[in-house]
Structure formats: C-alpha cells, structure tokens
Amino acid sequence: MSSTRGLEGVVATTSSVSSIVDDVLKYQGYHIDDLTEHASFEEVIYLLWYGELPTKEEYNNFRQSLMDNMSVPDEIFDYMKHYPVDKVRPMAALRTAVSQLSLYDSEADDMSEEANQRKAVRLQAQILSLVTGFARIRKGKDPIKPDPALSFSANFLYMLNGEEPDETSIKAFNKAMILHADHELNASTFTARVCVATLSDMYSGVTAAIGALKGPLHGGANERVMGMLTDIGTPENVDSHVQKLLDNKEKVMGFGHRVYKTGDPRAKHLREMSRQLTEVTGESKWYDMSMKVEEKIENEKGLLPNVDFFSASVYHSLGIDHDLFTPIFAVSRTSGWIAHILEQYENNRLIRPRAEYVGPENKTYVSLEER
C-alpha cells in the first residue's frame, strides 16, 4: 500500500457540478467565460444546484426566495457583538456564525430532500448577511437589511456599506461571485463532501468547508496577496521584494495551482477587471504592481497566477477591507459547496481512505514508573 502525497491526481468521486478539462472550467457544462459574460450570480447558483439555467419564472421565484431568507436570528448578531471584535478575524467569525445558524434552524438535522433544499436557500442567503453584518458590527455599526429591489451582488455591497453601489461595482462583484462559485474537488469542497458523507448535516458541511477555505494555501491567499502588494508599495520595488521572497523559499501568494498547468482560466477575467477598476479608482499602481509580480514569478519560477492573485486588487478597488476577501470567497463558494453536498447526499457512500503506516513497529508498553 503506497500513498499519494496530497492526493494529487486521485479521482475521488464522480460529479456533474463542474469540470476542469484541458484547463477549461465549466459549471454543469457551461463555460465560465460564457457565464461571466452573461449570467447573474443567482442564475449560476440555480444552475449549480438544479443542473440547468432557470426559466424567467424560476429565476424570479429563486431570487425572491433568496431575498426572503436573508435575515439571520438576532441572537447571532448579539453574539457577534460579544466577540472580541478588535481581535477576531472575519473568517473565524464566519465559521463560528455558520455553525451557530444551525442552532436556530429547526430543520438543521432533517435530512429529507425537501428540508435540504430549504436549508440550501437559507444558508446561501444568510451567509451574505453574516459577512456584511459582522463587517459592520466590528465597526460599531448596525447590520443593514437587504433591499429587495437589488440583486444578490448589489445587496452584498449595499449591506456592507449602507449605500447603493454603482453599476460598475455591481457588475464586477457579480463577475467575481460567478468566478469563485465552484471548482470541482478543491480542498474546501472535498472537506464538505467528506463531512456530509458521514450523513452529517449541511451546516456541518459548510462550517467544515469554511475552515478549509480559510487556510493560506487555499482561499486565504487572496488577503495575503493584498498584504504582499501593500508591503511592496510601488512598482519599482517589485523586483527586489519578490526576489527576497524567492530567495527565502517563501511561497508567493496567488501563484501556482495543483490542477492547472497552462494557467487558471479565471485569472484572465480578474486581471482585466483589476485593470479596469484600478483605472476607475485612479489607483492603477495596484494593477501595475500585480503585472510586474506576475512577470517576475513567471520568469523566475514558471508559475502563473491563480484566482486569488488579481481578485485582491479587484476587491481592494471596490473599497472592501482586506480581511473580508476570503469571507467573500466563502459567500460565493457556498453555492458550490451546497451543490456538492446535495450531490453527495443523492448517491452517498462514506469517504474513508487509508493511510500508509510509516511509524515504529512492535513496541511494548512500559509502565509509567519504569519510563
């Protein structure tokens, strides 16, 4: 019995949610280029969960049900007010709050298909309110209720800032939501599937997934990219700063990918969004620095940017606090996690791989007194 480090190349399940073939990413058979160009995030959630794009009527009903389910129990916001808000990171707050949601859902442990469908909508809607609510609470402000006239993406920005966002910001945020929605068997989605394959509930699956997404080798990279760009400061400093990272054998955040060999197909969209948005804000230095970092890493290491690299300057240009970047990823990826959780329940088998034992053999117990 021999092991595969990091399960590289292991095909652990079948899935019809999304595919990566020849470095092309598709959701339920639809190319992401097509979806980012034309779809709303709500349509993409529907597509991931139900396998087809909604009709106009289905779309309207689905959008309405997301809107109707956005409010979270007051108790959860009350708890948040008691978190040590100056120390708590939003991603840890989100992980805790999603787990708390289950305590107020009488259907939390109801495993019927109908209950799971209802929970899916609740969770997707409420996670938006949790992220925006905590972002406000930690600044001493009250959470804002959704505006039913606004889309999911527009509501995120509205509930974060208390002002109706402009069209450019809404469009960019909607695109970013679509690009992050699903990604085959990435680490957090695998985590969610492992969790619910024990027939644990959807809240547990999403809570576990948030924990996995939080790490810097996965979704946590986008916040760190912004940290790196801030440390670099100006385009002139890119070369020496990045060289130092490479000399110290540090991982450069936002580069490399386990699956893509010719580049992450989401990066080109985010690169272009970064170019446009930084121009609008008059802060094109973030884009210029990003381009220089990209060139340097490709030349020195042959590595290409992943989804997290340009999303950093995109979210920064939208005026979003840097430690909210990964929670925003979670808001989007909840759609994919839930699609995979529902798929896992449909055709479940416990996920239980083996480990190749490499520890000592044939040891004999020695009593405490004799050790």
Amino acid (1-letter code) at residue 110: D
136 binds ligand ACO (CB under 6 A): no
Pull the structure tokens for residue 32.
């992401």
Sheet with 30-31, edge to edge strand ranges? 18-21, 24-27, 30-31
**7 forms part of the interface with ligand ACO (CB under 6 A):** no
Q: Which residue of the set 257, 288, 322, 323 is catalytic? A: 257
Minimum CB–partner distance for residue 174 and ligand ACO (Å): 19
Interface pick for ligand ACO out of 90, 133, 256, 327 (rule CB under 6 A)? 256
Q: Which helix (H) or strand (E) holds 72?
A: none
User: Looking at this protein, which amino acid is placed at residue 162?
Assistant: G
Residues touching ligand ACO, count (CB under 6 A): 19
Note whether 235 and 283 are within 8 A (CB).
Answer: no
User: How is residue 35 written in tokens?
Assistant: 């979806």
From CA 28, how far away is CA 247, in angstroms rounded? 42
Amino acid at 18: S
Among 105, 182, 264, 308, the one annotated catalytic? 308
Contact call for residue 143 and ligand ACO (CB under 6 A):
no
Q: Two tokens at 298?
A: 């490709």
Answer yes or no whether residue 308 interacts with ligand ACO by CB under 6 A: yes
Considering only 118, 257, 285, 322, the residue that binds ligand ACO (CB under 6 A) is 257
Instruction: List the one residue from 253, 314, 324, 328 that touches ligand ACO (CB under 6 A).
Output: 253
Residue type present at position 159: M
Report the residue from 20, 88, 108, 303 that binds ligand ACO according to the rule CB under 6 A.
303
255 sits near ligand ACO (criterion: CB under 6 A): yes
C-alpha triplet 215, 218, 224: angle, nearest 5° = 70
Q: Note if 308 is an active site residue.
A: yes
Tokens of 303: 């590595």
Q: Going by C-beta distance under 8 Å and a sequence separation of 6 or more, which residues neighbour residue 69?
A: 121, 122, 125, 126
Minimum Å gap between C-beta 189 and ligand ACO is 10
Q: How far is the CB of 216 from ligand ACO (least distance, A)?
A: 6
Residue nearest to ligand ACO (CB): 256
Q: Is 257 a catalytic residue?
A: yes
In the complex, minimum distance from the CB of residue 261 to ligand ACO, in angstroms, rounded to a whole number:
11
Report DSSP letters for 128-178, one per residue: HHHHHHHHHHTTT-------TTS-HHHHHHHHHHSSPPPHHHHHHHHHHHH
Site string for ligand ACO, 218-237 (x = CB under 6 A): xx-x----------------
Q: How far is the CB of 147 from ligand ACO (least distance, A)?
A: 30
- The structure tokens listed for 321 are 């606090």
90, 323 in Cβ contact below 8 A? yes
Q: Which is nearer to ligand ACO, 89 or 257 (CB)?
A: 257
Can you give the binding site for ligand ACO, defined by CB under 6 A?
6, 186, 217-219, 221, 251-258, 301, 303, 306-308
Q: Which residues are catalytic?
A: 257, 308
